[in-house]
Structures are given as structure tokens and as C-alpha cells.
């Protein structure tokens, strides 16, 4: 995932706020390095030359509490060339 972000990309969500491309890549590295049981299921995707969308489910155990987390994520992408 980190390699998918251009250096001038932006990422925004409620948990991490707005991140640039390098920060978004670092976020994915952090998330994947801290979880022993992270699974990601791509449920739907669509794209054309200008935009895209995806729905995926991320499931993992949150380390400090041991609580099982299931994030149902709906993402939108805009491609700028």
C-alpha cells in the first residue's frame, strides 16, 4: 500500500487526519508492522481514468486492549496526472 501513494498524494480519514504521500506510506507501514493478524478483504472496486472507489474490510486485534477490530472502509480516489 505504501508504494501506491505518489509523493504529492494526499490521504484523509477520521483517525489519522490529512497526510501527504510519504506520511500515508508511513501510516501503512506502521499499521502492518504492529499487527500479527491483520487481514484485508477487498469487497468491491471500480475505477476509470479520473477516479476510483473501493470497499474493503480490515480486521485485526488492537494490541493494547486485545480487542478485535473490524473496519469496513469505503474509499474514494481521484487521479491527477
- 59 and 30 housed in the same domain: no
CA neighbor of 38 nearest in space, from 50, 30, 46, 48: 30
Q: Tell me what pLDDT residue 16 has.
A: 86
CA neighbor of 9 nearest in space, from 20, 23, 25: 20
Q: Tell me what pLDDT residue 8 has.
A: 86
Q: Tell me what pLDDT residue 37 has.
A: 92
Q: Over 90: is that where the pLDDT of 43 sits?
A: yes
- 26 and 52 housed in the same domain: no
14-44 as b/e: b if 16+ CB within 10 A: eeeeebebeebbebeeeeeeebeeeeeeeee
How far does the chain reach from its first CA to its final CA, in angstroms?
A: 19
pTM of the model: 0.72
Q: Tell me what pLDDT residue 59 has.
A: 93
| DSSP tag of 53 | E
Q: Over 90: is that where the pLDDT of 42 sits?
A: yes
- 28 and 57 housed in the same domain: no
Number of domains in the chain: 2
Q: Select the more confidently predicted residue: 2 or 41.
A: 41
Domain of residue 68: give its range: 37-81
With cut-offs at 50, 70 and 90, classify the pLDDT of residue 57.
Answer: very high
Amino acid at each position: 500500500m505504501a508504494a501506491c501513494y505518489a509523493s504529492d498524494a494526499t490521504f484523509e480519514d477520521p483517525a489519522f487526519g490529512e497526510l501527504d504521500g510519504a506520511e500515508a506510506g508511513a501510516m501503512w507501514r506502521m499499521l502492518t508492522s504492529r499487527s500479527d493478524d491483520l487481514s484485508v478483504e477487498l469487497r468491491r472496486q471500480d475505477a476509470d481514468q479520473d477516479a476510483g472507489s473501493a470497499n474493503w474490510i480490515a480486521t485485526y486485534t488492537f494490541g493494547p486492549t486485545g480487542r478485535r477490530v473490524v473496519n469496513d472502509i469505503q474509499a474514494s480516489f481521484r487521479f491527477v496526472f
